[in-house]
Amino acid sequence: MKITPEMVDYISELSRLRLSDSEREKMTGELEQILAYMDVLNGIDTDGVEPVSHIFPIKNVLRDDVVEASFDRAELLRNASWADTETFLVPKAVD
C-alpha cells in the first residue's frame, strides 16, 4: 500500500502529533515499510486458525465488586501537568 504525505497528515492529526517536514518524510517511509510487512503476514494461510488478541493462555481475569478507598486527590493531581486543587485542567475543549 502506498502511503502518501496526506495520509501521514491525517494520522498525525488523529494522534494529535505535530510533525516537522523531515519527520513527516521519515514517517511516510517507515509506515510504508510497516504496511509492507503486514502484506507478508497477509500472505500466510490462516484458515482454521483462531484470531488471537491476547498472547498469554489466560482468560476470565475478574475481580469482585467490592469498594476500596479511592486515591488521595492531591496526590493524583500532582501527576497532572495542569490542575487546580480539585480538578485536572486542560485548554478549553468545547465539544
Contact between 6 and other proteins (CB under 8 A)?
no
Q: Which stretch binds other proteins (CB under 8 A): 18-26, 27-35, 38-46, 85-93?
A: 85-93
Alpha-carbon dihedral sign for residues 17, 22, 27, 28: positive
**Quick one: 50 exposed, middle or buried, by C-beta within 10 A (0-12, 13-18, 19+)?**
exposed
C-alpha cell at 5: 504525505
Segment 5-10 long-range contacts (CB within 8 Å, at least 24 positions apart): 7/31
Contact between 49 and other proteins (CB under 8 A)?
no
Contact between 61 and other proteins (CB under 8 A)?
yes
Residues with Cβ within 8 Å of residue 25, at least 6 apart in sequence: 5
Contact between 46 and other proteins (CB under 8 A)?
no
| Identified binder of other proteins from the candidate list 5, 25, 30, 71, rule CB under 8 A | 71
| Identified binder of other proteins from the candidate list 46, 56, 78, 81, rule CB under 8 A | 56
Residues at the interface with other proteins (CB under 8 A): 10, 13-14, 16, 53-54, 56, 58-68, 70-71, 73, 76-77, 79, 84, 86-95
